[in-house]
Amino acid sequence: MSLTRSEVENIAHLARLEITPEEIPPLAEKLSRIIEFVDQLRNADTKDVRPMAHPLNMTQRLRADAVTETDQRARFQQDAPRVEDGFYVVPRVME
């Protein structure tokens, strides 16, 4: 599949990228190669492949779930301009 100039311009617009006319042909070629590669992957037979989260059989080292800091909310909220019921009160942004 080969992308057209207008398709590349549309992709650049959607991605909010500013590209020059000279950049379009190499971008079209690279994007077309990426799409062809994705199509190859889509056609791969994965019927007997088990899903995995990581390619290596590893266990994640976890630290102990212990409290290491005390609750200092009241101390931090002393410097706030306005607090109600333990929450910071800020100006409304949306109506």
Give domain status of residue 27, yes or no.
yes
In this structure, is residue 83 part of a structural domain? no
Contact 86, 77 (CB under 8 A): yes
Residue 90 pLDDT grade (very low, low, confident, very high; cuts 50, 70, 90): very high
Q: Is residue 61 part of a domain?
A: no
CATH number, domain containing residue 34: 1.10.20
The answer as to whether 10 is a domain residue is yes
pTM for the model stands at 0.51
| Tally of structural domains, the chain | 1
Assigned domain for 89 exists = no
Residue 37 burial by Cβ neighbours in a 10 Å radius (0-12, 13-18, 19+):
exposed
pLDDT at 59: 80
Residue 16 in domain: yes
More confident residue, 54 or 23: 23
- Asked if residue 9 belongs to a domain, the reply is yes
pLDDT in tens, 19-52: 999 999 999 999 999 999 999 999 999 899 888 8
Range of the domain at 33: 5-42
